[in-house]
Amino acid sequence: MHASRSHLPATGDADALLRLVAACRAPAHLPSLRAAHARLLLLLHPAHPSAAPARVKLIQAYAACSALPAAHAVLESSCSPDRGAAAHAATICFNVLIRALTAASLHRDALRLFASMRPRGPACFPDHYTYPLALKSCAASKDLLLGLQIHTAVAKLRLDANLYVAHSAISMYARCGRPEDAYRVFDGMQHRDLVSWNAMISGFARAGLFERAVEVFKEFVALQCSVPDAGTMASILPAMGNAKADDILFVRKVFDEMQFKELISWNAMLAIYANNGYHVKAVELYLRMEKDGVEPDSVTLATVLPPCGELSAFSVGKRIHEIIKRKRMLPNLLLENALTDMYASCGCLKDAREIFDSMSARDVISWTSIISAYGKHGHGRESVDLFEKMLEQGLEPDSVAFVAVLAACSHAGLLGVGKRYFDSMTRRYHITPKAEHYTCMVDLLGRAGCISEAYDFITAMPIEPNVRVWGALLQACRIHSNMDIGIVAADNLFRLVPEQTGYYVLLSNMYARAGRWADVTSVRSVMVNKGIKKLPGASIVELGDRVYTFHIGDRCHPQSEMIYQKLDELLKRIRGIGYNPEVEATLHDVEEEDKEGHLLVHSEKLAIAFLLINTSPETPIRVTMNLRTCGDCHLAAKLISTITNREIILKDTNRIHHIVQGVCSCGDYW
C-alpha cells in the first residue's frame, strides 16, 4: 500500500500518533503502541520526511515496552535498499536499537547487531554514535579482542577525536584489564572535558590501580579547568577502599566545595566513609542531608544502614526504616538485606527476623544476614537450622555464608557441626578457605578445649596464618590455661603486630593465672621498654541523633560528675548481690597502680551509666565497643541489668551480648 500525495497533509494526525507512541513506556502500553503503529503505517508514506523519525520513535517505544522483536522488525523495515532518501536514518535506527540492547545488558546481541551493520551497505554504516555503544558492550562483556578491533577501525575512520568515542575506548581498555592502554588514549587526547577525566579516574579505579586513580583525581582538581561533579565522585569511590586518611579528607574537601551537590555525590561520599570504617562520619553526613532537606534515595539509605548497624545507632536506623516505608521503597532486596543486618547489629533480633520473614525474595546475602544475626547472639542452633533451610531452597552458599555459619558454630560451641561444614565447604562446594574460615575453626576447636588440634590446624594451613588466627588460639590458650601453645601463639603475634598490647596483656594474664610472676614481670618490662601503650578501649553509644564515645576513666563528658556518681551507686548495689571485680581482668591495665579502681571505670561501665541517666526506664541500653568486652564488664552488665530491670545489649568486636534480667544470650560461652 502506498499513500498518495493526498495523505501528506495528514501529518497533523501523525504528530498526535507519534506523541502517543512516545508515551508508551511499559509493557502494559503495548496494545496502544501497536494500534498507533498500524495507523501510522496508513498515514505516512515510507518516503515521507516524517517517516524516518517516526521509525526511531517506534523502535524506542517498543524497546521501552520490552518488545525487542517488534523493535527489531521496525528496524528491518527501515533499511531496505530502496529507501535511499532515508539513508542516514537507517544508522540512527540501528543506534537506537543497539542502545536498547545495551540498556538491557544484552551486550552479545548488541555486538551481533553492530557487526551486521557494515555488510548491509553504506546506508547502514556505523557512525560516531554507534562506536561508543559497541565499545561499551565490549567493556561489559570483557571482550578485549573485539574492543581492540573496533578501536582500530575507529582510528582509521578518524573518529577517535570524538570525545564520546575516546571515553568509551578508555573505559573499554580499563574494564578489559588494560589500564595502560586506557591511559594512552587519555594521554593522546587533544581536548579533554570533565568526562574525560572521570573516565580515566574510573578506569584506574576499576582496574585496581587505586593510587593512580587518586593521582589523576588530584591532578584534575589542581588543574581547575572544570569542576568535579557527581561522576567524579562516583568514579573515585571504588579507589577509596582502605584509603589513606588524607585522601578521604581531600575528597571531602572537594565534596564540600561543590556548588551543586547531586544526590550521587552525597551517596558516593557516604559510601567512602562507610567503606573505610568512618561510621560516625557516615551517619553525621546522612543527618546533614536530612537537615539540608536533601531527599535520599534507596542507594543513600542502603549505604548508611550498615554504619548505623556498626554504631548500634538504633534510633537513626529505625527512622530510616520509617522513611523506607513512607516512600514505599519496599520490596527492594538491597534495602531489606541492609535492614535485616542493621536490626541484628543493633541487637534487635526480633525486628531483623521480621524483615527477613516479610521478604518476597531472598538471596544468599539475605540468608547470610539472618544466619549471622543468630550466630552473633549466641543462637548457634538457629543459625544452623537457617543455613540448612537456605540449602533446601536450592541456594548455593558462598564463602561469606560459610563464615557466618562457622562463626555461629564457634559462638555456640557446636564443634562437630562446625567441622562438618568446614569439610563440606571444601569438598562439596569447592570453596577455598580464607583466613576468616580458619579463624572460625581455630576459635571453635580452641574454645572447645581441643588446643593441640587447633594448633595442628594452623600448622597445616596452606596460607600464612594472620593475626586473627593466632589471636583466636591465644584466647583459647588463656581460657584453658595452655601455657606451652599459648607462648607459641604469643610469639607469632609479637612477630606480626609488635605494637599491639592486647596480646601482651593476654599473655601476662596467662602467666599470672599460672602463678608465674617472674614471667608477668618480664612481659611488663618488655611493654615498658618498647614504650607500648594499650590500644584504648572505647565504647560508643547513641543518644538522640548523637553518638558519644567513652574511654577508660573518661572525664571529658559534661555529665562526668553524674556518670561517676551513678556508677558508684551501681557498683555498690551489685557488690551487694555478689559482684567482685575480677582479679584477672585487672591485668588489662598493668601499667596502673590502682588496678581495681581502673577496672571499675572501663568504658563499657561509663557508657552504661551514661545511658541509665539519660534514657527512660523501658529503653534498652545499647553499647558498642572496639575490643572484646572484658569478663568483669560482662559480669557487671549482667548484674546491672538485674538491679535496674533494663535490657542491656553489649556489642563487642565479634559478637552481641544480649542481657535480660541477668542472663546473657551468649550463655557465658565467649
Q: Which is nearer to DNA, 298 or 466 (CB)?
A: 298
Q: Quick one: which H or E segment has residue 485?
A: helix 483-496
Chain positions 297 to 336 lying near DNA, rule: CB under 7 A, are 297-299, 302-303, 305-306, 309, 333-334
Q: Which is nearer to DNA, 294 or 660 (CB)?
A: 294
Q: Smallest distance from the beta carbon of 492 to DNA, in angstroms?
A: 28
Residue 56 near residue 50 (C-beta atoms within 8 A): no
Q: Smallest distance from the beta carbon of 305 to DNA, in angstroms?
A: 7
Chain positions 243 to 302 lying near DNA, rule: CB under 7 A, are 262-264, 267-268, 271, 274-275, 297-299, 302
| Contacts with DNA, 129-168, as mask; x by CB under 7 A | xx-xx--x--x----------------------xxxx-xx
CA atoms within 13 A on the CB side of 536: 11
Q: Smallest distance from the beta carbon of 246 to DNA, in angstroms?
A: 21
Residue 304 near residue 335 (C-beta atoms within 8 A): no
Q: Which is nearer to DNA, 275 or 501 (CB)?
A: 275
Segment 466-471 long-range contacts (CB within 8 Å, at least 24 positions apart): 466/435, 466/439, 466/496, 467/493, 467/496, 467/497, 467/500, 468/435, 468/436, 468/439, 469/435, 469/438, 469/439, 469/442, 470/496, 471/503
Q: For 311-434, where are the alpha helices, taking DSSP H only? A: 314-326, 333-345, 349-358, 364-376, 380-392, 399-412, 415-427
Q: Which is nearer to DNA, 19 or 112 (CB)?
A: 19
Q: Quick one: which H or E segment has residue 133?
A: helix 130-140
- Does 337 contact DNA by CB under 7 A? yes
Q: Smallest distance from the beta carbon of 74 to DNA, in angstroms?
A: 12
Chain positions 30 to 59 lying near DNA, rule: CB under 7 A, are 52-53, 56-57
Q: Which stretch binds DNA (CB under 7 A): 366-374, 476-484, 559-567, 595-603?
A: 366-374
Burial class (CB in 10 A: 0-12, 13-18, 19+), 364: middle
Q: Which is nearer to DNA, 179 or 486 (CB)?
A: 179
- Residue count (the chain): 670
**DSSP strand pairing (663-664 vs 546-551):** unpaired
Chain positions 563 to 622 lying near DNA, rule: CB under 7 A, are none
- Does 179 contact DNA by CB under 7 A? no
> Can you tell me which of 45, 47, 73, 127 binds DNA, judged by CB under 7 A?
127
Cell of 37: 503503529
Largest Cα–Cα separation, the chain: 111
Q: Which is nearer to DNA, 428 or 530 (CB)?
A: 428
Cell 594521554: give the residue. Answer: 187
| Contacts with DNA, 100-119, as mask; x by CB under 7 A | --x-----------------
Backbone angles phi, psi at 197, to 5 degrees: -65, -45
Chain positions 422 to 461 lying near DNA, rule: CB under 7 A, are none
Q: How far apart are alpha carbons 609 and 572 in whole angstroms?
A: 13
Q: Smallest distance from the beta carbon of 49 to DNA, in angstroms?
A: 8
Q: Smallest distance from the beta carbon of 331 to DNA, in angstroms?
A: 12
Q: How many CB atoms lie within 10 A of CB 347?
A: 30
Q: Which is nearer to DNA, 233 or 608 (CB)?
A: 233
Q: Smallest distance from the beta carbon of 172 to DNA, in angstroms?
A: 8
Residue 371 near residue 387 (C-beta atoms within 8 A): yes
Size of the site for DNA (CB under 7 A): 77
Annotate 292-343 with DSSP letters as a single string.
HTPPP-HHHHHHHHHHHHHTT-HHHHHHHHHHHHHTT--S-HHHHHHHHHHH
Q: Which is nearer to DNA, 230 or 346 (CB)?
A: 230
Which residues are CB-neighbours of 497 under 8 A, at least 6 positions away? 467, 503
Q: Which of 87, 4, 98, 89 is nearest to 45 (CA)?
A: 4
Omega within 30 of 0 (cis) for the link into 46: no
> Can you tell me which of 88, 253, 389, 428 binds DNA, judged by CB under 7 A?
88
Q: Smallest distance from the beta carbon of 431 to DNA, in angstroms?
A: 11
- Does 92 contact DNA by CB under 7 A? yes
Chain positions 192 to 251 lying near DNA, rule: CB under 7 A, are 193-196, 198-199, 202, 206, 229-232, 234-235, 237-238
Chain positions 368 to 387 lying near DNA, rule: CB under 7 A, are 368-369, 372
Q: Smallest distance from the beta carbon of 339 to DNA, in angstroms?
A: 9
Cell of 383: 543459625
Q: Smallest distance from the beta carbon of 601 to DNA, in angstroms?
A: 33
Q: Which is nearer to DNA, 204 or 579 (CB)?
A: 204
Q: Smallest distance from the beta carbon of 392 to DNA, in angstroms?
A: 16
Positive or negative, the CA dihedral 263, 268, 273, 279 is positive
Which residues are CB-neighbours of 359 under 8 A, at least 6 positions away? 331, 333, 336, 366
Q: Which of 319, 482, 412, 400 is nearest to 666 (CA)?
A: 412
> Can you tell me which of 24, 93, 320, 630 binds DNA, judged by CB under 7 A?
93
Q: Which is nearer to DNA, 358 or 522 (CB)?
A: 358
Q: Smallest distance from the beta carbon of 175 to DNA, in angstroms?
A: 7
Rg of the Cα trace of the chain?
A: 32
Q: Smallest distance from the beta carbon of 545 to DNA, in angstroms?
A: 21
Q: Which is nearer to DNA, 309 or 620 (CB)?
A: 309
Residue 170 near residue 182 (C-beta atoms within 8 A): yes
Q: Which of 353, 277, 349, 324 is nearest to 540 (CA)?
A: 277
Q: Which is nearer to DNA, 271 or 349 (CB)?
A: 271
Q: Smallest distance from the beta carbon of 553 to DNA, in angstroms?
A: 33
Q: Which is nearer to DNA, 37 or 167 (CB)?
A: 167
Measured N-to-C along each axis, helices 263-275 and 245-257 cross at an angle, to the nearest 10 degrees, of: 170
Q: Which is nearer to DNA, 428 or 575 (CB)?
A: 428
Q: Smallest distance from the beta carbon of 507 to DNA, in angstroms?
A: 32
Q: Which of 498, 517, 650 is nearest to 587 (CA)?
A: 517
- Does 365 contact DNA by CB under 7 A? yes
Chain positions 388 to 417 lying near DNA, rule: CB under 7 A, are 398, 400-401, 404
Q: Which is nearer to DNA, 263 or 294 (CB)?
A: 263
